[in-house]
């Protein structure tokens, strides 16, 4: 377990996309290190299990429904103050070249990664501006790179990245810290499966890659960000496995 300096008084972090992968690992790491956590996702049974295991609050919410996100935030505020939000809910659908890209996949990715991040930001921002706190966005190296078959996802992640990058200009001088964590290849249980639709294609993404990142590696970086002294901000952090130089240049064994 990674140990950080003890969290400041009353640290209560909302984590979206908390029912699997990076979000779930973040909830576990934050709880292990003494933070209060509110886990948010759509699948109630997974959140119930997580809550029973680690002792966190949870909220069932679809982040693409802005009214539902507002209502969720109000329920969270009724139980206490929030000191930070990890905006992590997101994902990819499809890996078609532009010539064959499906509008419904592009729309799905825009709704969850961009509109979802916007709705979550807007629901919590007034509280954070008034009381001080953190917004941490899980974008991706896809937020500033592209690759064949990646245009729909990279378009959505580029767009999502404009939220923290613009807000940093809009909120300068206010007591809100804005972080952006940009992972490269992370082997999580569901990300590539949801994207490609079957386990064999999903496994092929990581085939021959020595030690791809895992969710706990990204949770570790998130814990590091949130535990910095209040005047310190890490604007944007790219995190990749040693075997990956860019989205497209990946060492695989046996080497080609
Ligand atoms: N894995 C990677 O290689 C990688 C690399 C760079 C960036 N990222 C980004 O990191 C984040 C987490 O990725 P991951 O690998 O942990 O993916 P994951 O395991 O598929 O987890 C995605 C999470 O988002 C939640 N979610 C999806 N749609 C939602 C919605 N409409 N409302 C609320 N929650 C929703 C899912 O829970 P429910 O289905 O229960 O709602 C799940 O908890 C994503 O933003 C992803 O784009 C991943």
Give 78-88 pLDDT, tens digit per residue. Answer: 999 999 999 99
- Of the candidates 104, 89, 98, which has an alpha carbon nearest to the alpha carbon of residue 47? 89
Around ligand 1, the residues with Cβ closer than 6 Å are 16-23, 41-43, 46, 62-64, 88-91, 112, 116, 138, 140, 183, 185-186, 188-191, 194, 215
CA of 88 to the centre of ligand 1 (A): 6
User: For residue 254, what pLDDT is reported?
Assistant: 76
CA distance 117 to 132: 19
Give 52-75 pLDDT, tens digit per residue. Answer: 999 999 999 999 999 999 999 999
Q: Cα 228–229–235 angle (5° rounding)? A: 55
User: For residue 162, what pLDDT is reported?
Assistant: 98
CA of 224 to the centre of ligand 1 (A): 20
Q: In the predicted model, is pLDDT for residue 203 greater than 70?
A: yes
Average of per-residue pLDDT across 154-179: 98
User: For residue 126, what pLDDT is reported?
Assistant: 98
CA of 91 to the centre of ligand 1 (A): 5
User: For residue 10, what pLDDT is reported?
Assistant: 75
**Residue 56, Cβ density class (10 Å: 0-12 exposed, 13-18 middle, ≥19 buried):** buried
Q: Which is more confident, 189 or 55? A: 55
Instruction: Tell me the domains of the chain and their CATH numbers.
Output: 12-239 (3.40.50.720)
CA of 90 to the centre of ligand 1 (A): 4
| Token pair 């570790």 in the structure block, residue | 220
153 is catalytic: yes
DSSP assigned state of 198:
S
Position in ligand 1 atom list of the atom nearest CA 194: 20
CA-CA-CA-CA dihedral for 212, 37, 40, 94, to nearest 10:
-10
Which residue in the list 4, 110, 153, 224 is annotated as catalytic? 153
Q: In 3-state terms, what secondary structure has residue 91?
A: coil
CA distance 186 to 216: 10
Give 210-253 pLDDT, tens digit per residue. Answer: 999 999 999 999 999 999 999 999 999 999 999 999 999 999 99
DSSP assigned state of 8:
P
User: For residue 145, what pLDDT is reported?
Assistant: 97
User: For residue 13, what pLDDT is reported?
Assistant: 98
| Token pair 């984590």 in the structure block, residue | 15
Q: In the predicted model, is pLDDT for residue 49 greater than 90?
A: yes
């Amino acid at each position: 377990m990674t140990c950080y300096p003890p969290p400041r008084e009353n640290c209560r972090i909302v984590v979206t996309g908390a029912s699997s992968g990076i979000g779930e690992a973040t909830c576990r790491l934050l709880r292990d290190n003494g933070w209060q956590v509110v886990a948010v996702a759509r699948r109630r049974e997974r959140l119930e299990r997580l809550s029973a295991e680690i002792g966190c609050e949870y909220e069932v919410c679809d982040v693409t429904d802005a009214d539902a996100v507002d209502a969720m935030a109000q329920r969270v505020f009724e139980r206490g103050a929030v000191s930070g939000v990890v905006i992590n809910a997101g994902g990819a659908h499809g890996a078609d070249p532009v010539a064959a890209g499906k509008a419904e996949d592009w729309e799905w990715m825009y709704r969850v990664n961009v509109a979802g991040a916007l709705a979550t930001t807007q629901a919590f921002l007034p509280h954070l501006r008034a009381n001080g706190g953190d917004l941490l966005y899980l974008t991706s190296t896809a937020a500033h790179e592209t690759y064949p078959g990646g245009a729909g996802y990279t378009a959505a992640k580029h767009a999502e990245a404009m939220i923290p990058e613009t807000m940093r200009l809009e909120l300068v001088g206010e007591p809100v810290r804005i972080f952006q964590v940009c992972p490269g290849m992370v082997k999580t249980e569901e990300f590539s499966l949801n994207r490609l639709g079957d386990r064999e294609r999903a496994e092929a993404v990581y085939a021959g890659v020595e030690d791809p990142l895992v969710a706990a590696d990204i949770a570790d970086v998130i814990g590091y960000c949130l535990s910095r002294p209040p005047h310190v901000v890490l604007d944007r952090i790219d995190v990749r496995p040693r075997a990956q130089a860019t989205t497209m240049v990946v060492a695989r064994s046996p080497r080609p």
